[in-house]
Structure 1
Amino acid sequence: MAGASLLTLLDDIASVLDDVALMTKVAARKTAGVLGDDLALNAEQVSGVRAERELPVVWAVAKGSLRNKLILVPAALALSALLPVAITPLLMIGGAYLCFEGFEKLAHKFMHGSGDDAAAHAAEAAALSDTEVDIVAFEKDKIAGAVRTDFILSAEIIVIALGTVQDAAFGSQVAVVSGIALIMTAGVYGLVAGIVKLDDAGFYLLRKTASNGWAALQRGIGRVLVNAAPYLMKALAVIGTAAMFLVGGGILLHGLPQAHHWLEAAANAVASTPLIGGLLAALTPTVLNALAGVIAGGVVLALVSLVGGVAARLRS
């Protein structure tokens, strides 16, 4: 009997671990949209830091991210235990914020041309070349700004992850949300470290001076890395912005009681299209999520601008 009980216990533990692993995968997929923007934002935050200080700065921000999650994870789990009805509204607030942030990026892109961005970058470079600039204070400001940004993005990731397991047992919630927090922190800042050092790796390979074929191949790889680094940053920014609309719009639509039926009806309506009906049916929910995200982002930005304008007039 004792042996049978032990085997039953082990089977139960294995079943729980399997469920946790499955829920973690689902949560990871749902939080991946925020991950793209997290990568782009954190890689941008390190720009302007001297090459030899890039990794220490990334490590400092990663530690700040872990501190953020030590606050956010227990708070989210306590909310799930004490007031689970608040999870869906919080998810929708987070989704609306994602849409707002994405739309604000688009608005900035269209309202401020590339010349403005180039001028800002040149001003920063000139300030850093000034011997009177306090580099330590500059780094601290960069780190503080990155940690503040991380707090917002971490909160979104944790709330989204919690939303995927809100009906699970509390122990499974702890395992999944804590696991996602650690995985995302290691993944984001590991990739950020790789991205910011990509050009340095390329320049290192370009310095190979031997005349054999291996050295020539290394120089070729180095040239590709150096040329690819700026395009990678731009691609991450574009992917991150698109992901904000997709994830934010999806959260908002899933928070509406009838939205699931609307998406199914739209997919079924285009499924009968000759030749490409299956493809259209698969893409329609994604397109509608993105469209909902863009519309929601525009509405929230308009409201924020209106409230900001009224507050400014009241102060004056």
Structure 2
Amino acid sequence: MAAGLAALLDDIAALAKVAAASVDDVSAAAGRASVKAAGVVVDDTAVTPRYVSGFTPDRELPMIRRIAVGSLRNKLLFILPAALLLSQFLPWLLTPLLMVGGTYLAFEGAEKLYELVTGHGKESAESPEVGDGHQTPLPAGAQGEDTEKVMVAGAIRTDFILSTEIMVIALNEVADQGLASRAVILAVVAVMITVLVYGVVALIVKMDDIGLHLAATRQGRVAAAGRMMVRAMPKVLAVLSTVGIVAMLWVGGHILLVGVDELGWHAPYDVVHHAEEAVHGVAGVGGVLGWLTNTLASALVGLLVGAVVVAVLHLIPRRKGAAAAH
């Protein structure tokens, strides 16, 4: 009896170890996949606060909650099953699909740079019905349930595009796992990313309100910190937007470099790899220099590809229209 109980306890302990190892594996894989999706995550975080700009403070968090729920529904009910079916039955499509997403990221980053340089982004505001998150804030009087619904729906549509990129990037990182493991890992990534993005968005959106409250109700250093928070928010959003642009170019370019290498064109990535090796031997900082070299090369590729797409979609049609007008 005692021997049987001991054997049972040993079996339970072994199963617990296997389960713990599986949880560790899932957590590690989900972490790697989430890091690879960093560029899209930063862009998602930078874009979303604009959808609640212009609404009264008491409506901001409810709107963010509705957008977050819609984002999670997109990931778990639509994108996740589609991604799993793709990886299971058409795995050869994963790399080309990922490269399409990388091109889109590069285009987004290059387009934002183009708008910063030329000022075209300030000339016209897109309709909230079909906008991509770059529309101007609502006028102060544009309140009401219908307006909220329109803005939340627009934010969820924008999030669907970004969430698809996140999930495909994550799927590519765990393509060698079994179907059940892929499903669990992607579900974990979906929840982690959604909580991270919309938790940060909520904090960003309410930061100035928190600062105003501290400045009005406290004294001394606490009140000064509140005033500093209010003054800092425009700069924080500007920095976040800049980091998002760089991250999109870097991640998009890296996806394209790796993709063409996997499809058989090795020359571009070989050049980057040789450049990495050339600086990797520098004592003390070789690893950092190697990472910076790869990152810079990826960002340049992203900028080049993105600039070509921007030219095709914006500059060439505009010049044709100007020529037709004359």
Q: Which runs of 5+ in 1 are unaligned?
A: 210-214
Structure 1 Cα separation of the partners of residues 146 and 185 of structure 2 = 38
Cα deviation, 1:216-272, whole Å, max 9, x if unaligned, reads 122011011111111111111111111100111111111122254332201123446
Q: What SS is found at the alignment partner of 1:175? A: helix
Aligned 8 A contact 2:249 2:302 in 1: yes
TM-score scaled by structure 1?
0.86
Cα deviation, 1:185-225, whole Å, max 9, x if unaligned, reads 1111111111100000001001126xxxxx31220110111
Show the counterpart of 2:37: 31
Give the alignment partner of residue 311 of structure 2, picking from 302, 312, 316.
302
Structure 2 Cα separation of the partners of residues 273 and 12 of structure 1 = 41
Change (3 A) 1:216 1:270: same
Instruction: Say if 2:177 is the partner of 1:168.
Output: yes
Give the alignment partner of residue 46 of structure 2, picking from 33, 36, 40.
40
Structure 2 Cα separation of the partners of residues 45 and 92 of structure 1 = 29
Give the alignment partner of residue 92 of structure 1, picking from 95, 99, 117.
99
Show the counterpart of 2:229: 225
Instruction: Say if 2:140 is the partner of 1:128.
Output: yes
Aligned 8 A contact 1:208 1:218 in 2: no
Cα deviation, 1:34-80, whole Å, max 9, x if unaligned, reads 11111000012221222221111111111211221121111111111
For the aligned residues, what is the CA RMSD?
Answer: 2.9
Instruction: Say if 2:58 is the partner of 1:59.
Output: no
**Letter of the aligned partner of 2:63 in structure 1?**
V
Aligned 8 A contact 2:49 2:205 in 1: yes
Structure 1 Cα separation of the partners of residues 121 and 187 of structure 2 = 40
Measured after TM superposition, the shift of residue 8 of structure 1 is 4.0
Change (3 A) 1:274 1:176: closer
Give the alignment partner of residue 147 of structure 1, picking from 149, 156, 169.
156
**Letter of the aligned partner of 1:261 in structure 2?**
D
**Letter of the aligned partner of 2:115 in structure 1?**
H
Structure 1 Cα separation of the partners of residues 283 and 31 of structure 2 = 35
Q: What SS is found at the alignment partner of 1:207? A: helix
**Letter of the aligned partner of 1:162 in structure 2?**
L
**Letter of the aligned partner of 1:146 in structure 2?**
A
Show the counterpart of 2:217: 208
Structure 2 Cα separation of the partners of residues 281 and 17 of structure 1 = 32
Cα deviation, 1:120-164, whole Å, max 9, x if unaligned, reads x9x966x433xxx56333222211111111000000000000000
Give the alignment partner of residue 254 of structure 2, picking from 250, 254, 261.
250
Q: What SS is found at the alignment partner of 2:307? A: helix
Aligned 8 A contact 2:45 2:201 in 1: yes
**Letter of the aligned partner of 2:241 in structure 1?**
A
Aligned 8 A contact 1:57 1:139 in 2: yes
Instruction: Say if 2:196 is the partner of 1:187.
Output: yes
Structure 2 Cα separation of the partners of residues 147 and 308 of structure 1 = 30
Measured after TM superposition, the shift of residue 110 of structure 1 is 1.5
Show the counterpart of 2:27: 21
**Letter of the aligned partner of 1:42 in structure 2?**
T
**Letter of the aligned partner of 2:69 in structure 1?**
K
Aligned 8 A contact 1:128 1:135 in 2: no
- For these two proteins, the number of residue pairs brought into alignment is 301
Instruction: Say if 2:241 is the partner of 1:237.
Output: yes
**Letter of the aligned partner of 1:252 in structure 2?**
L
Change (3 A) 1:261 1:9: farther
Show the counterpart of 1:292: 301
Range with greater deviation from structure 2 (194-203 or 27-36): 27-36
Measured after TM superposition, the shift of residue 106 of structure 1 is 1.0
Give the alignment partner of residue 76 of structure 1, picking from 64, 71, 83.
83
